[in-house]
Amino acid sequence: MARKFFGTDGVRGTANQYPMTAEMALKLGAAVGRYFRNDGDNQHRVVIGKDTRLSGYMFESALTAGLTSTGMNVLLLGPVPTPAVGLLTTSMRADLGVMISASHNPAIDNGIKFFGPDGFKLSDDAELEIERLVLEGVEAAQPQNIGRAKRIDDGRFRYIERVKSALPSSLPFKGIKVVVDCANGAAYRAAPEALWEMGAEVIEIGTSPNGTNINENCGSTHTQTASEAVVAHGADVGIALDGDADRVMIIDENGKVADGDQVMALLADRWAQTGRLKGGALVATVMSNLGLERFMQSKGLRLERTSVGDRYVVERMRKGGFNLGGEQSGHIVMTDYATTGDGLLAGLQFLAAMVETGKPASDLSQSFETVPQLLKNVRYGTGQAPLEAASVKAAIADAEVRLNGQGRLLIRKSGTEPLIRVMAECEDSGLLTDVVDGIIAEVQASV
């Protein structure tokens, strides 16, 4: 059965428009509360974190009302990175974790992500059951069983200590000048504090959230700002996070950007050399560059591919017993330390590699030569189905014939935005541009 309002990463959309309305958040809170508090006991608890979007206040209140109405006790963390919610769900013995964030999306959007008691994102089956409860409605708790809500003031500090503990306390970052771009998002305090506590000289940007500037010309999706800052300040490295800090892009001392594929390549190689890479494999999605796959093969390692979405990466990692995975977009998942992508943790691992090898960021951030890859998006409206158009299907079929044996083509709907994503890889850059632009033109004509 297809999910109605859950996407690849929770529920997401424009704030105050279906499905991201206060009414839906109230219903979601009640439904997920009933799903996890199914025995009538009043000891169940949920932790709720959020990023810095203005609409976060509205959704935090609505979710709290829905959850407490079914008897769940709510612990409010305030602005914290998404991985902090996964961590604190387990460390605070909660039954459920909730993150209010639209990640890398603009400020007008928002989203709701759910974590189970093990700190991992919910399965498709769990989300389907929660959808059923939303649509059918749930019975409220008796008056004497209504839940309580309480603010937790030290969630950020607990998270900082956790990411620091992933590295040896003897590993010095003293003398390293780091630009950290927090995208005016959830890590605007945690990331600079963690880096400073570990001894780095920290240059902060994107640390002045006002509710409407999250991801605006900053962060992992707009790396030019951080790149320019690295060069201007003569920094050794830059760490660019997204709005909820589960993604990262690394910037070398020359301002060149390394995406998630390059970071994963570095970590996989280093971990394999020290016997830390479980299963001899890295888990990534179908979007990861062919160059990463060739690099892994050259090291005698495997690349396991999944559908797009970091939770599908995590599911494959858990099933196969792997401990490193992620996405080209910058989600880096290290299950030895975290239950979801953690941009700050990945950034610290990169700094550790710089210290341990004595090499500059530029020597570590480009492990393989990428195969030319082109990704373009087309936004579509409600009720439209551009991939069903005959002209679009014909353009895709023609592109597949032209790329046969020379490259690969991937076309999909985004699970987090109303976008059609057209991606191709090919050594022939002219052919690459031609086939992608041809499909894009037909998709645009159909919307």
Enumerate residues 6+ apart whose C-beta is below 8 A from 289.
261, 328, 368, 370, 371, 373, 425
How far apart, in whole angstroms, are the C-alpha atoms of residue 211 and residue 361? Answer: 33
**Cis geometry, peptide bond prior to residue 19 (ω within 30 degrees of 0):** yes
* Cα separation, 158 vs 177, whole angstroms: 25
Amino acid symbol at 10: G
Furthest-apart CA atoms within the chain: distance in Å: 69
Provide the annotated active-site residues: 103
- Among candidates 117, 144, 142, 156, which has minimal Cα distance to 35? 117
Question: Among candidates 331, 187, 204, 173, which has minimal Cα distance to 267?
Answer: 331
Partners of residue 325 on adjacent β-strands:
283, 333
The residue with tokens 């032209």 is 402
CA dist 20 and 169 (Å) reads 43
What strand order describes the sheet that includes 419-426? 373-379, 419-426, 407-413
Number of helices (H) and strands (E), helices first, in the chain?
Answer: 14, 18
Q: How many CA atoms lie within 13 A of 432 on its CB side?
A: 16
Give me the phi and psi of 205, to 5 degrees please: -140, 160
CA distances from 372 to 302, 408, 430 (A): 21, 11, 10
Looking up tokens 């280093």, which residue turns up? 270
How many Å apart are CA 100 and CA 79, to the nearest integer? Answer: 9
Distance CA 32, CA 133 (A): 8
Nearest Cα residue to 94 out of 134, 143, 152: 152
In three-state secondary structure terms, 1 is coil
Q: What is the DSSP string of 397-434?
A: HHHHHHHTTTEEEEEEE-SSSSEEEEEEEES-HHHHHH
3 state DSSP class of 48: strand
- How far is the C-alpha of 345 from the C-alpha of 166, rounded, in Å? 8
